[in-house]
Amino acid sequence: MAEKEKIGVVFNYFAKPMVAAIKLTDGDLEVGDRIHIKGHTTNFEQIVESMQIEGRDIKSAKKGASIGIKVNERVRPNDIVYRIL
């Protein structure tokens, strides 16, 4: 099993266009990173293909930022976001 580090938590989800709002509480994130989102009923991995802050496309975000990323499945508030190392 791949190593992973907790980088943040989901605080909102927008069904259309399937975007997760994530607070980076513990680490940084870049486009191209592989993430694992896990919660009570959520459990999937994906590559971060796009990321935004306040509607602007960005390539990377630092700990403390609130970002939006396009997700392949539904996520829920308080789901934990891990970066796969």
Say whether pLDDT at 2 is over 90: no
The Cα–Cα gap between 81 and 85 comes to: 13
Structural domains in the chain plus CATH codes: 4-84 (2.40.30.10)
Query: Do 38 and 16 form a contact (C-beta atoms < 8 A)?
Result: no
Residue 1: pLDDT band (50, 70, 90) is low
Say whether pLDDT at 78 is over 90: yes
Per-residue pLDDT, 75: 98
Predicted confidence (pLDDT) per residue in 21-71, tens digit: 999 999 999 999 999 999 999 999 999 999 999 999 999 999 999 999 999
Strand order in the sheet with 4-14: 43-47, 34-38, 80-84, 4-14, 19-23, 66-70, 51-53, 56-58
Query: pTM (2 decimals)?
Result: 0.95
